[in-house]
Amino acid sequence: MPDPLTMIFMHPFLQRALIALALTSMISATSGTFTVLRGLSFMPSAVAHAALGGAALAIYLQSSGLVPFLNPASGALLFSLIVAVVTGYVGERGTTSRMEVAVGVTFAMAMSIAVFFMHYIPAEYTPQIWGYLIGDIYLLTVSDLILLSLASSTMTILTIIFLKEFTYLSFDMEGLSAHGLDVRLYHYLLVTASSLAIAVATKAVGAILVYAVMVAPAAAAGEWGKTVTSVSLWSFTIAFTMQMAGLVSSMLWNTSPSAVAGILASLIYIGTILKKRKV
Amino acid sequence: METIVDVRNLYVKYSTGTVALEDVSFTLEHPTFTAVIGPNGSGKTTLLRTLLGLVKPTKGSVRVMGIDPSKQSSQIRRLAAYIPQRKSIDYNIPIKVKDVVLMGRLAKKAVPRIAGRRDIDAAEKSLRLLGLEDCWDRPFPELSGGQQQRVLVARALASEARLMLLDEPLSGADVESQYVILDLLKDLRENSNVDILIVTHDLNPCHPYIDNAILLNRRLYGYGEPCNLMRLDILSKVYGPNVRLITHEGHVYAVIGDIHA
């Protein structure tokens, strides 16, 4: 068996996977970091499951001939946008606890919709829905990659431009609002852009593992980073290396790439917490 | 004399049906250092938020430096600085002290909000006045509660406001920090033309520093020099029957049995 490096050169699907994991790591560094800082770490998970519900609805409408031009990705984006807007609306005054409830309820609603429509979807389409649930970095098409690079670069550019605003928002929404900052604008910008990016990443990572791959790296980095920038860069590094390890392990031992990445990233978080406790 | 705050027959009722303020009227004349006191849930924070235009009056009128905050909140926010109560700030955000102090100035600038020489000078000066010049580059979450509170005062100070509205600026602060903050506020009021309105559940540390106190418990129960408000008949209406009074160095202090009553 050839070594992993040669395999990557030989197989385009592996090259696509490599690009995808760099792009999803960028989303972890931006959306992941700020949802953790904002106390909304549960949101990426909810958004990903909403994407699944949206995809199920879109597949139903498409396969039943009601709206033939609708594709699963647009359904996924629409539903994740709904989660973002509901969460954003509830969180306008910055109360995290109420936002968590909104996240949970929209999560449950989207999953219920997914289960509801799966019953009516012809069997040959169900693998597409499972794709959103488990995710498969090896099954990405070129157009998936284009969408993913669009999402991750937009999120990265927004974060670079509005790093101060997003940080201020997480630190003291009320106080900065009184200092004249348009907190509502940046609040909605952050939750909607993050949600859309995560919805796009769901096809690669899978709704179940979004938390492990996108949030756990940011949560671990948040435990030791001294500035938001360093948290974000560390989050990228962890997400990228762990996903890389997942990829290599899948080539060598035929394991699931995002599962291994998820286990490793979670272990890093747990290790960080334990080490901090000892000091 | 210039009127800084003019509140007339103010009612605030939240959409949940809770009446936070009922028929509150008072005026503050420049220069002033005033404390709003009252038990928890007495509407103190709502009053500050109304002055900043963060809450709209249900009835009555509010003017801050002649401006109606519910209509022209952006003008108020240019003239005022605000420290919200502790619970609305996330003290775990990885951020340097200098970034917190600069925030008050940069929030008023246009994107990308780059700190210029003047911003940095003002921020450094504010931090120095609060005795924290050595903390400029330190991570904010690693400071003590008192130091964090002082940094927030420095943030308000650096924004060069005409009016400072501080919600429980002494809570979570050690005794030394409390006096650093109070000394500075008094100095601002006397020498820098800044008017100050603070909210506190504990009047005692502020007592010798302030000009006036407003006793609030949804309604206005008293307004005037702090010693004149320290009367059992007034205080027991707000805090219940367990209030005791102590006189020390010419000031009357209240000992309140249970402030959460």
Tens-digit pLDDT profile for residues B183-233: 999 998 998 889 999 999 888 888 889 999 999 999 999 999 888 888 888
Find the CATH number of the domain harbouring B181. Answer: 3.40.50.300
Domains in chain A: how many in total? 1
The pLDDT value recorded for residue A107 is: 85
Give the separation between CA A78 and CA B84, rounded to whole angstroms: 36
Chain B residues near residue A39 by CB distance under 8 angstroms: 90
Chain B residues near residue A225 by CB distance under 8 angstroms: 94
- Whether residue B224 lies inside any domain: the answer is yes
Tens-digit pLDDT profile for residues A184-204: 999 999 999 999 999 999 988
Determine contact: A186 vs chain B, CB below 8 A.
Answer: no
Domain that holds residue A237: 4-278
Determine contact: A167 vs chain B, CB below 8 A.
Answer: yes
- Whether residue B225 lies inside any domain: the answer is yes
Give the separation between CA A28 and CA A198, rounded to whole angstroms: 9
- Whether residue B261 lies inside any domain: the answer is no
Q: Which is nearest to A126 in space by CA: A54, A73, A56, A70?
A: A56
Angle at A13 between CA A9 and CA A16, to 5 degrees: 85
Tens-digit pLDDT profile for residues B157-167: 999 989 999 99
Chain A residue with CA closest to B53: the answer is: A178
Find the CATH number of the domain harbouring A25. Answer: 1.10.3470.10
The pLDDT value recorded for residue B261 is: 40
Give Cβ neighbours of residue B37 (< 8 Å, ≥ 6 apart). Answer: B44, B199, B200, B201, B202, B203, B213, B214, B215, B216
Contact: A179, B104; criterion CB under 8 Å? yes
Chain B residues near residue A189 by CB distance under 8 angstroms: none
Give the separation between CA A89 and CA A80, rounded to whole angstroms: 14
- Whether residue B105 lies inside any domain: the answer is yes
- Whether residue B161 lies inside any domain: the answer is yes
Residues 100-129 of B with CB under 8 A from A: 100, 103-104, 106-108, 111-113
Give Cβ neighbours of residue A19 (< 8 Å, ≥ 6 apart). Answer: A145, A149
Domains in chain B: how many in total? 1
Give the minimum alpha-carbon distance from A38 to chain B in angstroms, rounded to a whole number.
9
Name the residue with higher pLDDT: B121 or B172: B121
- Whether residue B98 lies inside any domain: the answer is yes
Angle at A74 between CA A68 and CA A80, to 5 degrees: 140
| pLDDT interval class at A19 (50, 70, 90) | very high
The pLDDT value recorded for residue A33 is: 96
CB of A219 within 8 A of CB of A273?
no
- Whether residue B34 lies inside any domain: the answer is yes
Give the separation between CA B44 and CA B58, rounded to whole angstroms: 16
Domain that holds residue B249: 3-255
Determine contact: A175 vs chain B, CB below 8 A.
Answer: yes
* Residues facing B5 on adjacent strands: B28, B64
Chain B residues near residue A228 by CB distance under 8 angstroms: 93-95
* Residues facing B95 on adjacent strands: none
Tens-digit pLDDT profile for residues A114-130: 888 888 888 888 888 88
Q: Which is nearest to A145 in space by CA: A277, A14, A23, A3?
A: A23
**Phi and psi, residue B257, nearest 5°:** -55, -55
- Whether residue B260 lies inside any domain: the answer is no
Determine contact: A228 vs chain B, CB below 8 A.
Answer: yes
CB of B182 within 8 A of CB of B166?
no
